């Protein structure tokens, strides 16, 4: 694949591209397909679902799936930790314990690193909500087995993982499988309505913008005396780069994706800075507590990006853009405001009655399956993930990182094989500290002298 193809659109304008893309909800919507081409035959009884990854987000996705129709049945669950699976099943049982929709016998509760395969084999649709590092492998197995997929974002933590997901997306497209990625803002009314108004030229051409995920401190799980090194890292996954990707990838992907979506293009390069200003203790293994990145696009637009996890600071999870005729503001709390250049309000979105976007993305997935249609968000999810990874590469290295460099980087964070017998990719030194990126010194692509 020529990486330049990912940012160049031949024969149409950026505005035309965005307008066309928005007509397909979250991703690529193909026309009606023959029933035989679908992993689930429309009108043919229950849609069987497997949950892979039974933490809080996975349990939430399972609730969303069961709420999407009485024809949906959860039949299998998998997690590497038995206590997480048991807790998740307990929460689901409180609401669905007397319903045929929850039909997970003990023999379909799979524990361990290979459990995902056994769970996937039981189902028509797979909900992937494991930590991000393992998602490329799980996604590949699901589409090879001909399963429809909901997969949380980000879809990978390194460039080889992104490339794997893109290849799996091609398999899914060939098999005409539905793939919805958990970039739920693309299924959220205030964002969809704002994009419609961008298409209607209410703010003119977007010339620049700012995207934020600034918040206080996030959770951290302390090391327990009886834990192996790998169990500690897997239970504290957010703080290890190989499993999480750092918060510029894991959380801020949402806001970066909004910029890509509204602009109708992907960044061609990025540079930035970041570090650990307050999160310096030994209980915080690897990731930065702040990132600030400038994303440059082929059209000349520059998006200023910030994500921060520091208590006592200004917080915002939102997006702002400046156009030739006006400005716009959006956020994940169903708000959207458009103003002209004089500050007059053109549109103020009242989202109190809007559908829950987490439910909406799942509803649209199952409705597409029932109708024999196909949504495929794979490329959107992979390129949004790569945008976040490119920003992390920039802050970790202190270098200007090109899109092509990021996409083709060979630095592999996630081992091909993960099991309890392995030594994790990173281990602490004699003082209990893990390797942390140092801008100007850390290699993210290859030796700097060879670039």
SS3 percent helix, strand, coil of the chain, rounded to 5, is 40, 20, 40
Pairing of strands 302-309, 206-215: parallel
Alpha-carbon span 233 to 229, nearest angstrom: 6
Position 43 scores a pLDDT of: 52
Query: Domain 188-356+386-408 falls in which CATH fold?
Result: Dihydrodipicolinate Reductase; domain 2 (3.30.360)
401 φ, ψ (degrees, to nearest 5): -110, 125
Whether the link from the prior residue into 20 is cis, omega within 30° of 0, is no
pLDDT of residue 35: 35
What is the pLDDT, as a whole number, of residue 351? 87
- pLDDT, position 446: 64
Q: Which residues in the chain come in under a pLDDT of 70?
A: 1-44, 446-451
Tell me the C-alpha distance between 383 and 20, whole Å.
18
pLDDT for 343 equals: 96
Q: What is the enclosing helix (H) or strand (E) of 191?
A: helix 189-199
pLDDT value of position 31: 39
The stretches of 134-187 forming alpha helices (DSSP H) are 135-144, 159-174
pLDDT on residue 14 = 38
**Would you state the pLDDT for residue 39?**
56
Domain positions in the chain are 3-185+358-376, 188-356+386-408
Taking the C-alpha atoms of residue 341 and residue 344, their distance in angstroms, rounded to an integer, is 7
Place of tokens 């958990």: 182
Query: Which residue is listed with tokens 């990025």?
Result: 270
The pLDDT, as a whole number, for residue 44 is 60
Pairing of strands 148-151, 345-349: unpaired
Give the pLDDT confidence score for residue 38 in this predicted structure. 45
CATH fold, domain 3-185+358-376, is Rossmann fold (3.40.50)
Distance CA 140, CA 382 (A): 13
| pLDDT per position as a tens digit, 86-99 | 999 999 999 999 99
d(Cα 402, Cα 6) in Å, to the nearest integer?
13
Element holding 181 (H helix, E strand): strand 179-181
pLDDT at 113: 96
């Amino acid at each position: 694949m020529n990486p330049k193809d990912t940012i160049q659109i031949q024969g149409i304008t950026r505005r035309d591209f965005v307008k066309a893309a928005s007509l397909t909800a979250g991703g690529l919507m193909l026309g009606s397909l023959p029933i035989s081409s679908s992993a689930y035959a429309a009108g043919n009884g229950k849609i069987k679902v497997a949950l892979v990854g039974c933490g809080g987000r996975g349990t939430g996705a399972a609730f969303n799936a069961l709420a999407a129709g009485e024809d949906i049945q959860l039949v299998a669950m998998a997690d590497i930790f038995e206590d997480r699976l048991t807790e998740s099943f307990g929460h689901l049982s409180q609401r669905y314990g007397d319903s045929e929709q929850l039909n997970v016998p003990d023999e379909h509760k799979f524990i361990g690193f290979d459990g995902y395969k056994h769970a996937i084999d039981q189902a028509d649709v797979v909900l992937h909500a494991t930590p991000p590092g393992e998602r490329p492998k799980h996604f590949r197995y699901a589409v090879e087995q001909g399963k429809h997929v909901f997969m949380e974002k980000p879809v990978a933590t390194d460039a080889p993982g992104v490339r794997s997901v893109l290849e799996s997306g091609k398999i899914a497209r060939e098999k005409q499988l539905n793939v919805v990625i958990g970039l739920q803002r693309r299924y959220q009314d205030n964002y969809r309505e704002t994009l419609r108004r961008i298409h209607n030229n209410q703010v003119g051409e977007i010339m620049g913008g700012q995207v934020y995920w600034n918040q206080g401190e996030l959770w951290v799980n302390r090391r327990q005396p009886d834990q192996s090194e790998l169990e500690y890292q897997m239970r504290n996954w957010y703080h290890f780069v190989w499993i999480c990707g750092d918060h510029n990838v894991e959380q801020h992907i949402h806001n970066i994706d909004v910029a890509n979506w509204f602009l109708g293009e992907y960044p061609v390069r990025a540079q930035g800075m970041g570090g650990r200003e307050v999160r310096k203790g030994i209980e915080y293994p690897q990731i930065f507590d702040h990132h600030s990145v400038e994303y440059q696009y082929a059209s000349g637009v520059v998006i200023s990006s910030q994500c921060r996890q520091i208590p006592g600071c200004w917080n915002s999870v939102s997006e702002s853009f400046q156009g030739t005729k006006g400005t716009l503001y959006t956020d994940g709390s169903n708000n959207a405001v458009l103003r002209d250049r004089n500050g007059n309000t053109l549109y103020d979105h009242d989202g109190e009655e809007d559908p829950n976007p987490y439910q909406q993305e799942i509803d649209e997935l199952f409705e597409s399956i029932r109708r024999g249609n196909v949504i495929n968000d794979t490329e959107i999810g992979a390129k949004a993930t790569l945008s976040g990874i490119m920003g992390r590469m920039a802050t970790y290295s202190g270098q200007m990182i090109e899109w092509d460099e990021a996409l083709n980087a060979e630095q592999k964070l996630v081992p091909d094989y993960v099991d309890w017998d392995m030594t994790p990719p990173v281990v602490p030194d004699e003082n209990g500290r893990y390797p942390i990126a140092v801008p100007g010194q850390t290699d993210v692509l290859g030796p700097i002298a060879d670039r």
